[in-house]
A and B are shown apart, each in its own frame.
Chain A
Amino acid sequence: MDRRRRDRDGTGAVFATWLTIIGAGLGVMIIIPLTGR
């Protein structure tokens, strides 16, 4: 079954969004100091 059709209540999308935001934030907070800024 297509994953989008299974995620009818949107919780999968919410989970993915939160993980992406946290991951992106961590990436920015680690990489920028390594550039010396």
Chain B
Amino acid sequence: MNNKFFEIFNGLVPQENMNLLLNDFEKVADTKIIDLGVDSLAIMEVVLRIEECLDIEINYENFKVEQIETPRQILEMFSTYIEKRRN
């Protein structure tokens, strides 16, 4: 999952926050990604990168940006999709 976080947030957050995401996740798990440094214009980039990482196309009619507000929510989204694929 560390690789995935790196792919999603690379260049979009300052290095110190990237280090926390990769090495001390619980410290920032519930921090809003905007507060971690993601520009409001880059939220769309985060969504695009999540799609690439999961190899999916998000149905935007049923999607709310609040579903990816924090790193923990993104992690849960990954877990849900991976579980769906297994089943």
Are A and B co-members of a single complex? no
